[in-house]
Amino acid sequence: MKNVKKTWKIADIGVFLKNSLVAILKGEFLLRLNVGRYFIHIAYTFFLFALVIWISLMIDNTQSKVEKNKRTLQELEIVHSQKTYEIVSLSRRSTVNAMLQEMGSNVQEAQQPATRLVE
């Protein structure tokens, strides 16, 4: 017999891709490539990739929570500043006197110092 070299055709590539796809779907692709002895390494690599993806998702989730909490904190700081301003403005003597007069109260600022009782 003659040693005949086989030439590749476009149809051969299609058959190869079809066989490879069928092998992948059946779960035989790695066995057909004869890499069964490396299965533990492949499984370990897959586990590491999955772990990296999971950790990345957890980090993104945490970062989004941090950004949300920063926005909430800024809003609360604004509210706190407004409340502080309102309290300070209400505690001024002129504002208190004006409010008392509007309400019709006879209470006024003390004209003399308070009398101290001694026992």
Q: Residue 3: inside a domain, yes or no?
A: no
What does the pLDDT look like over 7-40, one tens digit per residue? 777 778 888 888 888 888 887 877 777 887 888 8
Q: Residue 105: inside a domain, yes or no?
A: no
Mean pLDDT of 56-80: 97
The whole domain housing 87 covers 10-100
Lookup: tokens for 56? 């990345």
The per-type count for the chain, helices as H runs and strands as E runs, is 4, 0
Q: Residue 81: inside a domain, yes or no?
A: yes
Q: In this model, does residue 48 exceed pLDDT 90?
A: yes
Q: Residue 110: inside a domain, yes or no?
A: no
Looking at the structure of the chain, the number of domains it has is 1
Dist. CA 75–CA 79, nearest whole Å: 6
Q: In this model, does residue 87 exceed pLDDT 80?
A: yes
Per the prediction, the chain carries an average pLDDT of: 85
Could you tell me the pTM of the whole model?
Answer: 0.49
With the C-alpha atoms ordered 88, 92, 94, 100, is the resulting torsion angle positive or negative? positive
Instruction: Please give the pLDDT value at position 5.
Output: 67
CA dihedral 35, 38, 40, 44 (to 10 degrees): -100
Nearest alpha carbon to residue 96 among 78, 80, 79, 110: 110
Phi, psi angle pair for 111, to nearest 5°: -90, -30
